[in-house]
């Protein structure tokens, strides 16, 4: 496992925030029976975790900027580095008492994600990577899966939900990928989807209409696990476009081809 000062800063920050999330998750089941519901409570849990992360990261690297789900953008004196922070990725899962969510912290250096930590506090699984140093799950080195055929591949995806555009686009993509793959999964956490691809638990993943805090850590981890990353159109800036497609070389190439095919209008019958 990587023991650099940077990774130590990141893992210590997410470990502190995880204690708060674990406590709050233990209360969610009780809140399900209330008439008001747990939405306000979950929002507070989100903010508490983000405050812990921000405090720890600003103390360790005071000049770095921040891009946060709850707190917005904070410009730093160091214009080369920015943290991308998601204190609770998988909020809907958390809200419903489903134990599949995480804390995600990625570091961008001059526009490129160079380090990431994704921590699942319920399963006690920490995915980490730093540029040039490999990717790890706890103390074990991880690599993307070696399967090359879509017919053998399990693919993760994200479904557009209420308030998100592109339902028609997604349904076309879904049909295209579903028709040739071994199976599709929608797990509910973009960061964990990417971490699972890095660990070989899934063969590929795509999703549109994301934010930088959803994917910054995952991009670094997948790359260091030997994976290929792009946006859903094959472009080289998923962090900027907010769409992502990842997998090993073969599966990534196949996925991009299928997504492009789905985007083309059908040819009218003669």
- Please enumerate, by residue number, every residue annotated as part of a binding site for Mg(2+): 69, 86, 88-89, 214
At residue 217, what are phi and psi to the nearest 5 degrees? -65, -45
Calpha distance 183→116 (Å, rounded): 28
Structure tokens at 122: 């319920």
pTM (two decimals): 0.92
Check residue 99 and give its pLDDT. 95
Domains of the chain: 5-141 (3.30.540.10), 150-263 (3.40.190.80)
Calpha distance 129→195 (Å, rounded): 10
- Please enumerate, by residue number, every residue annotated as part of a binding site: 69, 86, 88-89, 214
Calpha distance 160→42 (Å, rounded): 21
* Angle formed at CA 233 by CA 250 and CA 85, multiple of 5 degrees: 95
CA distances from 267 to 2, 168, 258, 261, 270 (A): 52, 17, 16, 12, 9
Check residue 89 and give its pLDDT. 96
Residues, the chain, total? 270
pLDDT in tens, the chain (270 residues): 788 999 999 999 999 999 999 998 988 766 654 444 556 667 788 999 999 999 999 999 999 999 998 889 999 999 999 999 999 999 889 888 899 999 999 999 999 999 999 999 999 999 999 999 999 999 999 999 999 999 999 999 998 766 556 677 888 999 999 999 999 999 999 999 999 999 999 999 999 999 999 999 999 999 999 999 999 999 999 999 999 999 999 999 999 999 999 887 655 444
Residues 6+ apart with CB under 8 A from 50: 17, 68, 69, 70, 71, 85, 87
């Amino acid at each position: 496992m990587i023991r650099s000062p940077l990774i130590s800063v990141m893992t210590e920050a997410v470990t502190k925030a995880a204690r708060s999330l674990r406590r709050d998750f233990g209360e969610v089941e009780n809140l399900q029976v209330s008439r008001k519901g747990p939405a306000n409570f979950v929002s507070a849990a989100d903010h508490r975790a983000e405050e812990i992360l921000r405090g720890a990261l600003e103390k360790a690297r005071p000049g770095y900027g921040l891009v946060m789900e709850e707190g917005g953008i904070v410009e730093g004196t160091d214009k080369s580095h920015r943290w991308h922070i998601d204190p609770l990725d998988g909020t809907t899962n958390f809200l419903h008492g489903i134990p599949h969510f995480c804390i995600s912290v990625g570091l961008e250096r001059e526009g490129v994600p160079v380090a990431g930590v994704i921590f699942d506090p319920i399963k006690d699984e920490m995915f980490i990577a730093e540029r040039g140093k490999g990717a790890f799950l706890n103390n074990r080195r991880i690599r993307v899966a070696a399967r090359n055929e879509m017919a053998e591949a399990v693919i993760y995806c994200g479904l557009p939900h209420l308030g998100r555009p592109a339902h028609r686009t997604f349904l076309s993509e879904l049909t295209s990928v579903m028709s040739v793959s071994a199976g599709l999964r929608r797990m509910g956490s973009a960061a964990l989807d990417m971490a699972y691809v890095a660990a070989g638990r899934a063969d590929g993943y795509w999703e549109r209409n994301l934010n930088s805090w959803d994917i910054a850590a995952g991009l670094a981890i997948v790359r260091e696990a030997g994976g290929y990353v792009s946006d859903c159109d094959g472009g080289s800036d998923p962090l900027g476009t907010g769409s992502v497609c990842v997998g090993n070389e073969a599966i990534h190439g196949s996925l991009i081809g299928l997504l492009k095919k789905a985007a083309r209008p059908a040819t009218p019958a003669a």
